[in-house]
Every structure is written in structure tokens, then in C-alpha cells.
Structure 1
């Protein structure tokens, strides 16, 4: 009899407290229609692997590529904090920085490619404090290529789009590169 009473009280307690538990979501409401904007950006990314203060450093590499003398052997992972400049000159105005990772993803030395996740943050001008993110394969050995923009923050919230790249300078010995970016962002 006592076990039944305890059981009944436990069931009543569970039923009574069930509606008070929180939900993992809130009520959905219709979004206010927003006007899509298109922003076009032009800048130069300076990716420097050499010297006393490189902007890209290898943080991991595959044991299989120990004999590879390339500055970016297959399977290598690089952390980057590259300057974004208005021009290809090393003394041109800095307008932001690109921070993230890229991995050397091609075994074919003639078709060098990397896969990159990088956040492009602007630190001056109208878009100061905003950024957009690229997560894409970059076939570096091609003279011009296109990368996918997959998101953004600040004035580039919910961004999508593409970046068209051209190599302005590349040193095959050091791996240093200057890349021209023409970016088309669709955002709200």
C-alpha cells in the first residue's frame, strides 16, 4: 500500500512539473522583410611565410611529407594573420586582416591547391568592425580563381557571395604571396 502511495505521488509530481520545463526554442514570428544589399570590395592580401615576422606559420604537417622541400608541403596546416592592404605594395594602407587556417591539400605540385577557412575583418572605413568568412578550395596554381563567401558579421551579417582572386606576386622559394581580391557580397 505504501509503495502505491509513493508511486502515485511520484507520478503526480512528474505530471505537475512537466509543463514548467523550458523549451529549447521560442515562438517563431514572421521576419520583417529586409532589403538585400550588394557590396563590392577590392584589396590585396599579403601572405608572408618568410622573414622574422611571418604572417602565416605552419602549425602542423604530415609525416609523409618530411622530404618535401616546398614551403607549403602537402598536408601542412598554416595559421594566418595576413594584412589586407589597398595596394600590392608592402607599405600601402592596411584596411584589415585575414585570420584563420589553410591546409595544403594537393599532392600534385603542378596544380597546387589549398583549402582555407579565413575571416576577413575590416579595421577602417565604412565597414570597420565587420567581416566576411571564406571557406573554400583555392587552386593557387591557376592565374585567376573563385572562392565561396559563406557568412559574415557586423554590416555583412548573413553574407554570401564570392571572391575572385588573381596572384599579383608569388615567390616559389619562400611561399610569400600577394593576392588581389575582388569580392562581391550579398547581405542584409
Structure 2
């Protein structure tokens, strides 16, 4: 009989546990580091054509109503690994890569992309660091702005913006060279 009461006693004892004090946050400490503003200037080469494109379509819209004259139709998703260079020529010094994806997100003649891109630097003062961009990019506008939403390395906790200027655009195949003027605030 006593063996039959053992299980209920154990269950009853397990209900009475020691309460633990916990909080969903930790103590907030004042920031020690001063914020810096860094300005960067470089070029991004987005190549959709040729034998070694730097941007490839990885998903397409499920539609029979396609426009043959548009290299980036509405709903198309592209993966990119675009070189970043010091100058507009593809032969100029490569300082990093833009890796990520963009989605064609407009149905009208004003082509707009939504971009998630990591601008990673492989040379110079910011080697090993990157800037994260997640923004709308109305590519038919010559001058436009995109948001910097973060980063890593020296750009950890970054915020800022990129002024984008279309340096070159081939409307028949979608190849482009873009001038990036970056203003980033970071610790």
C-alpha cells in the first residue's frame, strides 16, 4: 500500500519548487564608444549577360503573360555576387562583393527592386567588414537612395544610407554599373 502512495507523494513534492527570480531584460549600460560617420565611394557591376553573369534569375513569375522586352520581369528573383570596384571600369581594383538577392517588385514601367544585399569588403581599411542593405530601389530613377540597416565587423550596428547613381545601364540585357556613395554611422 505504501508503494502505491509513493508516486503521488513524489508528484506532490515536485510541485513545490523553489521560485527563481528572473527578468526578461538585463541592466542597461550607457554606451562607451562614440559613434563615427564613415563615407565610402565605389562602383557595383551587375552583369546579367554573357558566359559569367554576376546576377542570375533563381525564380520567375508563374505567368504566361511575360514581356519579352523586359530583362527583369515583375516577380523575378535574382541571386547576385557583384564585384565592388574603386572605379567604374571593371578592370579597376576590386574592393569587395555585393552578395544577396533582389526581387522585381513593380508592375508598371517604373521598374523597382526590393534588395537584400551584403556589401562585403575584402581589401583596405574595412577588410572583413560588411554593410547590410535592405531597401526599395527604384532603378529607373538616375539618382536614388537605399537604406543601410546593419553591418558586421567595423560596421557592427551600422545605420545610414546609400545614394545610388546609375553610371551605365544596358536596357536590352539589364547590365548595369552603379555608383554608390555610402554614409554610414557606426560605433
Contact 1:120 1:133 (C-alpha < 8 Å) held by counterparts: yes
Quickly say closer, same or farther: Cα 1:36–1:59, change in 2 above 3 A: same
Contact 1:115 1:138 (C-alpha < 8 Å) held by counterparts: yes
In 2, the alpha carbon distance for the partners of 1:26 and 1:7 equals: 37
The reply on whether 1:146 has 2:141 as its aligned counterpart is no
Q: Which residue of 2 aligns with 1:79?
A: 79
Q: Which residue of 2 aligns with 1:35?
A: 34
Q: Equivalent residue of 1:126, what SS?
A: helix
**How many pairs does the alignment contain?**
185
In 2, the alpha carbon distance for the partners of 1:93 and 1:65 equals: 43
Q: Which residue of 2 aligns with 1:9?
A: 10
Two-structure CA RMSD over aligned residues (Å): 2.2
Q: Which residue of 2 aligns with 1:164?
A: 163
Q: Equivalent residue of 1:87, what SS?
A: coil
List aligned pairs for 1:32-111, cutoff 5 A.
32-64=31-63, 67-69=66-68, 70-109=70-109, 111=110
In 1, the alpha carbon distance for the partners of 2:8 and 2:80 equals: 61
Quickly say closer, same or farther: Cα 1:174–1:157, change in 2 above 3 A: same
Q: Equivalent residue of 1:173, what SS?
A: coil
- Report Cα offsets for 1:86-138 as digits up to 9, x if no partner: 011110110000000100111112x1110000000000000000001000000
Contact 1:81 1:99 (C-alpha < 8 Å) held by counterparts: yes
Structure having the larger proportion of residues in helix? 1
Following superposition, the deviation at residue 24 of structure 1 comes to 9.1
In 2, the alpha carbon distance for the partners of 1:33 and 1:167 equals: 39
Contact 1:65 1:74 (C-alpha < 8 Å) held by counterparts: no
Contact 1:58 1:76 (C-alpha < 8 Å) held by counterparts: yes
